[in-house]
Amino acid sequence: MQATFNVYRKEPGPNSKPGRSTYSVEVAADATVMDALLKIRDEQDPALGFRGSCLRGYCGDCTVRVNGKAAFACTAKVAALAKKGPAEISVEPIRNMPVVKDLIQDWDAFLWNKIDATKPWLEPNGSTADGEQRIPDTVMAKVRKAMSCFYCGLCDEGCTVLPVDFNFLGPAALTKASRFTWDPRDHAVRERLQILERPKGMWDCVHCFEASEHCPREIAPTERIMEMRDEAFKYGITNEKVARHHLSFAASVKRSGWLDEGRLAIESEGLTNFKGLMKLLPTAVKAITRGKAPIPYLHHKREGSEKITRIIEKAEANKEK
Amino acid sequence: MKYAFYPGCVSKGGCPELYPSAVRVATKLGIELEEMRDVACTGAGVLPQYISDPINARTFAKAERMGLPIMTICSTCQGVFGQANLRLQDPEYRAKINREYLAEEGLEYKGTTDIKHLLWVVMEDYGVDKLKAMVARPLTGLKVSPFYGCFLRRPPEVVIPSKEFAGRKTYLEQLIDIVGAELADFAGKGKCCGFPVLTANEESSLGMTAKHTIEAKSKGADCMVTPCPLCHLSLDGNQPRAEEQEGKEINLPILHLPQFLGLALGFTPAEMNLKRHIVSTQAVESKVNMIA
Amino acid sequence: MQEFDVLVVGAGAAGLRAAIAAKQAGAAVALLTKVHPLRTNTGLAQGGINAPLGADDSPEAYAGDILQAGDGLCDPGVVQAFTQQAGDAVMWLEHMGVPFNRGADGRFDRRQFGSNGKARSLYVDDRTGHVVMQVLYEQFQRARIPLFADWFVTSLAIDSARCVGVTALGLRSGVLDSFGARAVILATGGFTRLFMPSTVSIGTTGDGQNLAYQAGIALKDLEMVQFHPLVFPGGNALMITEAVLAEGAQVVTAEGQPIANLIGATRDKICIAILQALQNGASGVALDLTPIGAQKLHSRFSQTNELIRNFTGLDPAKDPIPIRPVAHRPIGGIEVNVSGQTAMHGLYAAGECACTGLNGAGRLAGNILTEAVVFGARAGEAAAAYAKSAPPKAFPADRLEEEKKRLEALVSAGKSEDTAGHIHGELGRLMSESAGAVREGSALQAARGRIHALKERYAQLRVRNESAIYNYELVAYLELGAMLNLAEALVVAADARNESRGAHRRSDHPARDDRNGLCHSVVTLVQGAPQADTKPVVAL
């Protein structure tokens, strides 16, 4: 069958402007977009740049956007695309990913360097017994789930933080790091959490669930990140600003059953952080003049709040590290 | 139609215009609300699950006792409740929470509580036809951008538990049409407003505030409507700071869902407390007042 | 130029393991690879990794199964060394973080896979290779070994019969550079892309085997190629892990007749059984995974389930999946001893590109990953020891310039009717027809002639892409050159073995000939042509 492709092109270098090339190619009935690209490069345009390795959808190297949707070139079937979509099948890089050349994306900047920054290896305890340890399979199953990730980049592509802050570690790197949190053979959990709590790390996630929605393997990266944050709460949050915010929130709910927003705003900045508190002033003034500023600390306790206090005290005592 | 009403914290705190407008709208529509008073904050995704799951299970148990489904007016409350409720469907986990935290108070959560946001209540339980009939002042000529708030759209297994709820992805657009307003569609409508990361990374947060409001404006929006007061705090409350960071004027009024619906039902801007916002809603008020 | 004690080429399981071992032995190590470590063909290994760790198992029992699968050609000394070390090598993986599936008692769960007499394959669902690869890469990162990813090695640097480094093309920069080393370890993987269809990734093109072959190193047992029986032949062909047979899946004819006696059979026997069924009139053969059940397909075989659905459009919980035998892995390769040493000083090889004599004429199912970690580590240690003791030797002064000129001469813009892709396609189909699971003498000889013709066409080709950065056309061209050389050598070796043994089947010599055939084949490049010879099986 004949198929026409409209492919994103860009020469290497910061000054080149992106463009498009159109190719018509004859492919087999069961051909994939990867087959078409290989044929185009072989017969028509040897300079066309694209990546690929496994040819069967399990290595994550050929992630692209086909007709505007994230896909793997090696499993996207040309026949189905030609039947459903526009006359020209569009192929372009995925979002949030810097491009080196054409469809060759810069995985170093996008993902590999970020993973490198998280201490992404097991630190075995030197005194581990030499033989087989008994570990429940439910524990290993959780690790296996996170490790079924094949670094396709789609969670990072859907992330709402990365377009605004490219230096955010991103769901892929964070999910990979999260696996060590539940692996009883690792002895660097606390240390790794401290690395992940730094600015641009796990606390920069807005838990919008885009990552979980984009993951093709149901690894649920957003949930993994939230669980890691809960672990950090148990160990004691090391990111100072976040710690102030979270502890103030918890103290407020524990005391009165609901949130004292005024107190939260102040304590997040820090009671002695003059500069930070001054920054809040313009918004606070506007809010006060419009009658929407909750008065901090003069915060009445809800009905039944002592029951809430009791539950929270119990939960804090119960927490297992 | 009767619900255990859960107003959350912000609707009476940082967004006090939300609570009365929600109650007014519900009353006008004939939706009966029995407010839950002795229940806790949901935790808003800030409190870790080992604290928030027990206190939310307690809320669900109380609603179960009332024999009523819960109605929320905040996407964040809705999301945290929905996610917790899904976890509590696991019988072992629920039994553990009941045993360790609720039994002392003589409570037990049986797993049956249903939780719906006001938006879902009007679109599903109240019904689109009935709603259409209640529109007293069609908002003709008003261009509106919808902003859902993440937790009203994701994760899919919580928001759309079965195919019949697939419409939840477009209720705001549908509502805009029902009240006679014009849709100013834009890509950011289902994205994050930036509120959750305000503490950890203010620049990121304000960047998101700016991105979505600027985009909506570029599509011709007169205002934005949102079912989440935390989104409102970010999009409205932080709009001046976002303007400063971007070096750009935005000036886009943000309406709470009940305010928007309320105007269409015939309430005045004053009755909907539009004067409380940080970003002036004057332009919207003028447009609405011109409609007979 | 960059200089290291030990240079590893290839970032699959064997390469990573070798690099870690060399670093731990005190060498300054670097690793060059044409694809990122997490994109290598190691991910193809799914079903499990063998280790004699069960209470009912032993290195001796393991050795017995290897010898049986090897059909008389295994080197017993190598088998013994390997089976003694396998347990520790796999335990090390677990200690470094591989989350092997566990039984109810919290101990390793093990599969009985292929012709293994015991359940000795530890596994991670059906993505064992993918997870082992991640753990190895993590430990590689922990060892802080410099990684040169997207670098393509174009030649070995040899001085006075000693390997002193490589020249490599940096794909991202487009610049050719030289890397000096006291020892080079080739761990470049298999060569099955010279068959079409095959089960392997795009880059499995035998680069390392060709580099060694050009340097005069013998390629051993090249005719022994493992065909995988359970491959969906459509498109680029999808291999389904043999572990499904151990868990209830059945091979049936299109008419619904189950093919008997496949549990516990060696891979080559299953392939022959399938081919025989087709010869006997079955219109097709399929794999019926329904006995595994939807629940297990979702949990234990979730990757298999996902790949089948995405690739074939079929649902393994309901539909039979059409299969036939397809070229999978080489058993032969660069001749090395049990420590990965080749006949050339300073040159080592490990993993699928190497032939230690362990597998003889047939590889036991579940061995490939174990080989990667056992022999990878051994090669790393041996290379590090050599690097420590070897006298320094300079990188030949004009090697880099010569190589630059050679590569430049290949590039010439302009139109051409003939392309590398066309030649590769013809080669692949030729090899599948003439050097497939069953071979025949005259066809092999004819094939050699046709490979010659393809090589002549190849010599006329030019690389038309003149831009330097990420010139994948140049890479594909060089890979094709390697495959043409290896195809020729393979066909020569297959023609020289006039018997059927293990993975090598001759329709014109259907029986085993223990009088003349109990020897390894070796092919060396002599005056530009492959020369076949034999070597005795090394007695214990």
In a domain, B253, yes or no: yes
**Mutation target vs B (from A238, A311, A319; most B CBs, 10 A cutoff):** A311
Question: What CA–CA distance (Å, rounded) separates C300 from C292?
Answer: 10
Give the residue among A170, A167, A179, A168 at the shortest CA–CA distance from A215: A170
A140 and C463 within 8 Å at the Cβ level: the answer is: no
CATH code (residue B173): 3.40.50.11810
State both tokens at C110.
């093990």
CB contact under 8 A, A212 and B15: no
Q: Which two tokens stand for residue A260?
A: 């004292």
* Average pLDDT in chain A: 92
Q: Which two tokens stand for residue A187?
A: 């002895």
Identify the residue with better confidence: B37 or C63.
C63
Measured between alpha carbons, how far is A56 from A45 in angstroms, rounded to an integer?
A: 24
Please enumerate in sequence order all residues whose Cβ is within 8 A of that of C449, keeping only pairs 6 or more positions apart, or say none. none
Distance CA C195, CA C491 (A): 12
How confident is the model at residue A320, as a pLDDT?
Answer: 66
Same domain, B181 and B226: yes
Residue B186 CA to residue B143 CA, distance in Å, equals 12
Q: Are residues B224 and B143 in the same domain?
A: yes
Is the domain of B79 the same as that of B35?
A: yes
Q: Does residue B143 sit in the same domain as residue B205?
A: yes
Look at chain B and report how many structural domains it folds into: 2
User: What is the pLDDT at residue B110?
Assistant: 97
Residues of A in contact with C416 (CB under 8 A): none
**Chain C residues lying within 8 Å of A120, measured CB to CB:** 138, 141
What percent of chain C has a predicted confidence (pLDDT) above 90?
92
Both B103 and B179 in one domain: the answer is no
Is residue B129, in this structure, part of any structural domain at all? Answer: no
User: Is the predicted pLDDT of residue A83 greater than 70, yes or no?
Assistant: yes
Write out the two tokens for C357. 């004599």
- B157 and B253 housed in the same domain: yes
Q: What is the pLDDT of residue B221?
A: 97
Query: Please, is C162 exposed, middle or buried when counting C-beta atoms within 10 Å of its C-beta (0-12, 13-18, 19+)?
Result: middle
Q: Which amino acid is at C425?
A: G
Among C157, C160, C137, C319, which Cα is nearest to C240's?
C319
**Residue B69 maps to a domain:** yes
Let me know if residue B131 belongs to a domain: no
Residues B145 and B93 both lie in one domain: no
- Residues linked to residue C410 through DSSP beta bridges, in sequence order: none
Q: Which residues on A lie below 8 Å from C410 (Cβ)?
A: none
pLDDT digits 0-9 by tens, A211-236 = 999 999 999 999 999 999 999 998 99
Query: Which of C38, C102, C203 lies at the smallest CB-CB distance from A137?
Result: C102
**Over the stretch C201-235, which tens digit does the pLDDT of each residue have?**
999 999 999 999 999 999 999 999 999 999 999 98
Q: Which residues contact C18 (CB under 8 A, 6 or more apart)?
A: C8, C185, C187, C340, C348, C350, C376, C377, C379, C380, C383
Active-site choice (C17, C182, C193, C267): C267
- Cβ of A226 within 8 Å of Cβ of B211? The answer is no
Q: Do B174 and B111 have their domain in common?
A: no
Do residues A130 and C110 touch, judged by C-beta distance below 8 A? Answer: no
ipTM of the complex, rounded to two decimals: 0.95
Domain coverage including residue B207: 136-291
For residues B90 and B156, state if they share a domain: no
Which residues on neighbouring strands pair with residue C533, listed in sequence order? C522
Identify the pLDDT of residue C123. 96
Report CB contact under 8 Å: A257, B43: no
In terms of phi and psi (left: phi > 0; alpha: psi -120 to 50; beta: otherwise), the region of C529 is: beta
Spatial distance between the Cα atoms of A233 and A231, rounded to a whole number of angstroms: 5
Greatest alpha-carbon pair distance for chain B in Å reads 59
Query: What CATH number did the domain enclosing B38 receive?
Result: 1.20.1050.140
A115-148 per-position pLDDT tens digit:
999 999 999 876 555 788 899 999 999 999 999 9
Q: Name the average pLDDT for chain C.
A: 95
Interface of A with B in 256-275 (CB under 8 A): 257-262, 268
Residues B141 and B281 in one domain: yes
Question: What global pTM score does this model have?
Answer: 0.94
- Whether the CB-CB separation of B70 and B116 falls below 8 Å is answered with yes
CB contact under 8 A, A213 and B154: yes
Asked whether B and A share 3 or more beta-carbon pairs under 8 angstroms, the answer is yes
Question: Residue A74: which of C127, C288, C39, C135 has the closest Cα?
Answer: C39
Q: What is the DSSP string of A197-209?
A: TSTTSGGG----S
> Given a cut of 70, is residue C312 above it in pLDDT?
yes
Contacts of A130 in chain C (CB under 8 A): 91
Q: Mutate one of A160, A210, A305 to test the B interface: name it (highest B CB count within 10 A).
A: A160
CB-based contact C133:C40 (threshold 8 Å): yes
Nearest to C114, CA basis, from C231, C224, C243: C243
Element (H, E) at C251: strand C250-253
Question: Sign of the CA dihedral C493, C499, C502, C506?
Answer: positive
B168 Cβ under 8 Å from any chain A Cβ: no
Asked whether residue B228 is domain-assigned, the answer is yes
Q: Contact, C198 vs C206, CB < 8 A?
A: no
- The percent of residues in chain A predicted with pLDDT above 70, rounded, is 98
Instruction: Tell whether B239 and B108 lie within a shared domain.
Output: no
More confident residue, A267 or C20: C20
| Best A35, A40, A118, A137 residue to mutate vs chain C (most C CBs within 10 Å) | A137
Neighbours of chain A (3+ CB pairs under 8 A): B, C
Q: Are residues B286 and B146 in the same domain?
A: yes
pLDDT at C58 over 80: yes
Chain C partners of A135 at a C-beta cutoff of 8 Å?
Answer: 102, 106
Spatial contact of C461 and C484, defined as CB atoms under 8 Å apart: no
Pairing of strands B254-256, B223-226: parallel
How does pLDDT run across A182-194, given as a tens digit for each residue?
Answer: 899 999 999 999 9
Contact A149, A217 (CB under 8 A): yes
Of the pLDDT bands very low, low, confident and very high (cuts 50, 70, 90), residue A291 is: confident
- Mind listing the domains of chain A with CATH numbers? 2-105 (3.10.20.30), 107-235 (1.10.1060.10), 240-318 (no CATH)
* Alpha-carbon gap, residue B89 to B92, rounded angstroms: 9
C vs A contact (3+ beta-carbon pairs below 8 A): yes
Residue A259 in this model has a pLDDT that exceeds 80: yes
* The token pair that represents B143 in the structure block: 């261009």
Specify whether C267 is catalytic: yes
pLDDT band with cut points at 50, 70 and 90 for residue C540: low
Residue type, A103: L
Beta bridge partners of C165: C157, C180
Q: Give the residue among B55, B192, B47 at the shortest CA–CA distance from A237.
A: B47
Q: What is the mean pLDDT of each run of 10 residues along chain B (292 residues)?
A: 95 92 96 95 95 97 97 96 97 97 96 97 96 95 96 94 94 97 96 95 96 97 97 96 95 97 94 93 87 63
Which residues in chain B touch residue A233, judged by CB atoms under 8 angstroms apart? 48
